[in-house]
Amino acid sequence: MCLAPSGASAQGTAQTDQDLINPDRPGIADGSKVIAPGALQVEFGVERDNFSDTHVISVPLLVRVGVARRLEARVEGNTFTHSPGATGLSPISVGAKIALIDADKGPTLGVIVRGFLPSGSSAFKTTHLTGDVRLAADIPLGSKFSLNPNAGVSRIESDDSTAAVGLFAMTFNYQPTDHINPFIDMSYVSSPREGGSASVVIDAGIAWILGSDVQLDFSVGQGVHGDAPRPFVAGGLSWRFARR
């Protein structure tokens, strides 16, 4: 499940001394840490969102490239998307994550910026430049728990124009081992229209790390307010390459 306007989901984890993959999926809130310089990480999944009058199936994809110790480049989108009567490509974004506070122990903080050029096809095509900027933090709570809050603003396409919305997400992680991460989280997206209803989603899931460079994940969620999927289900695979 992703924050507006489009993208892959995220996960924050309690800190570990092992060099394990740390994807920005599943969950809703993005993590604050960047991948190592020279590394390539591909994170994708399949998601089904059920709305009151239709359903949407998408293939969220996030490609991350480590540029420097505190910087990664990102290409992100829901790629192939299908709903009854429409099949096409969703808009793709180009962006970056910058580690503002990077520490082996204690809280960390990053900023994520995305820009969506007019793109996509069929009913999913956009005609305006949109994007978002978010602060993402990872806050360890002892050795097995952590919080992962996100907050930011987004400009989305709405009613043949653009509108600004506020974004907030929070993930609560539990790691009984370094390779297993059950979590629960929620998101809030304000309405782009005056007097409209904000979108609120809650979900839960689990991620499994296989070896050190591969993660599998599964999550389910439910919209509890506004124009949100009721329910959604998602599964995914993340793979880290060229690790230094």
> What are the structural domains, with CATH classification, of the chain?
40-241 (2.40.128.130)
Q: 124 φ, ψ to 5°?
A: -100, 5
List the structure tokens of 153.
Answer: 């603003």
232 and 26 Cβ atoms separated by less than 8 Å? no
**Would you state the pLDDT for residue 67?**
97
153 and 133 Cβ atoms separated by less than 8 Å? yes
**Would you state the pLDDT for residue 110?**
98
**Would you state the pLDDT for residue 8?**
38
**Would you state the pLDDT for residue 51?**
80
Handedness of CA 198, 9, 81, 50 (dihedral sign): negative
**Would you state the pLDDT for residue 7?**
38
Q: Residue 235 pairs with which residues in a beta bridge?
A: 46, 218
CA angle 167/109/135 to nearest 5° reads 20
CA–CA distance, 240 with 212 (Å, rounded to integer): 9
Read off the pTM. 0.90
How confident is the chain (244 residues) per 10-residue block, as mean pLDDT? 44 62 94 96 95 87 97 96 93 97 91 95 91 97 95 89 93 96 96 85 97 96 87 96 68
